[in-house]
Amino acid sequence: MNEHILETRQLKENYQTNNEQILKVESLKKKYHNQTVLQNINLSLNAHDVYALVGINGSGKTTLLSILSGLVHSDEGTIHIDKKIKKENPTGFAFQPTSLYPYLSGKDNIDLLSPRPSNAYEILNRLNQSEKILSKKVKKLSFGQKQRLGLSIALSKEANLYLLDEPTNGLDVASCKNLVEIIKDMASNGSAFIIASHEWDIIEQCCNRLGMIYNGTIRKELDTFQGISEVNLPIIQMKTLNPIRKEEIETIVDVFECVELDDQTWRLTISSEQSVQTVQQLLIMKNILIQEWINIKPVQEWENLYNQWVKEEDINARNI
């Protein structure tokens, strides 16, 4: 078996063995006046989990994060956040601050709002422009600069669970990349994250779980280790000009798995990125005429699934 498969399996095993539970939510419900905003929310998170909460505007993401952070109360259900896993951690969770002190400098905000200012300075430094943000009054900062300041305060807390609401809003490309690295580092040290986001690229880079929320309910959950293929290997959707037999593909050593979608369309899981071109060449040498060769990223699959499923729900809603 090739090294990449072994490495990914090892990573998957690590997640499965170091799986202390950090968050358990059961049967959560929330109404605003007569409108049910959240219903039957069940969710559990373990150490190392980075959970993306995806949903269209108004689907309930912020409400769920606000309830988990204690800013809003729920009408029904239970929430348990483990506070004991990290001994030095008194809070258990951290939420992006929703407001900062506008007439104080970035530095004063950190000193007032962060229990560990030195961590916050370090994180801000990794998110760029730290000098400007620290010295200026918050009311004079741009949206993206305020976002960085809020993130550095939230991420400084050495919590078990971090709740981030669209953290990449207003961040430039370099800062997004740095934020992804910070989240990955913290998750590998055992913290868990729930990240409400519309940005599929960010989700792909740092999340290992995905929850799709629609009309206040988590309708589907995916695990990137189990979702589309067993391991994170390149997936190709291939369309041929003529029908072919499975054996013709299976004999190629670098094809880890092949699934027939119809007799001219196949989903191939390749054993490594480096082997993709080799597989294509071997198929051509077998006189298989390839009409289409699409590199499928799991995240694209999720996005398509979500869009398709929102469309179906809309059609159903119109037919009621």
Ligand X SMILES: Nc1ncnc2c1ncn2[C@@H]1O[C@H](COP(=O)(O)OP(=O)(O)OP(=O)(O)O)[C@@H](O)[C@H]1O
* DSSP assigned state of 105: B
Residue at token pair 């480096």: 274
| Nearest distance in Å: CB 54, ligand X | 9
Distance in angstroms (rounded) separating the CA atoms of residues 119 and 134:
14
Q: In terms of CB distance, is 55 or 167 closer to ligand X?
A: 55
Considering the complex, what minimum distance in angstroms separates the CB of residue 57 from ligand X? 3
Query: Other CB atoms closer than 10 Å to residue 301's CB: what's the count?
Result: 16
71 scored as a contact of ligand X (CB under 6 A): no
Query: Shortest Cβ distance from residue 68 to ligand X (Å)?
Result: 12
- 33 or 245, CB closer to ligand X? 33
Q: If we measure between CA atoms, which residue out of 108, 143, 145 comes closest to residue 124?
A: 145
Scanning the structure block, which residue is given the tokens 């090739």? 2
Among 32, 78, 259, 261, binds ligand X (CB under 6 A): 32
Written as six digits, the tokens of 27 are 């049967």
Cβ-based nearer residue to ligand X, 217 or 264: 217
Looking at beta carbons only, is 32 or 139 nearer to ligand X? 32
The least CB distance from residue 216 to ligand X, in Å, is: 7
Between β-strands 192-196 and 161-165, what pairing exists: parallel, antiparallel or unpaired?
parallel
Which of 165, 204 has the CB closer to ligand X?
165
The residue to which tokens 């689907």 are assigned: 59
Residue recorded with tokens 């989903």: 267
Residues 45-64 close enough to bind ligand X by CB under 6 A = 55, 57-63
Q: Residues 60, 28: contact at Cβ < 8 Å?
A: no
CB of 66 to ligand X, least distance (A): 7
Rule CB under 6 A: which residues touch ligand X? Answer: 32, 37, 55, 57-63
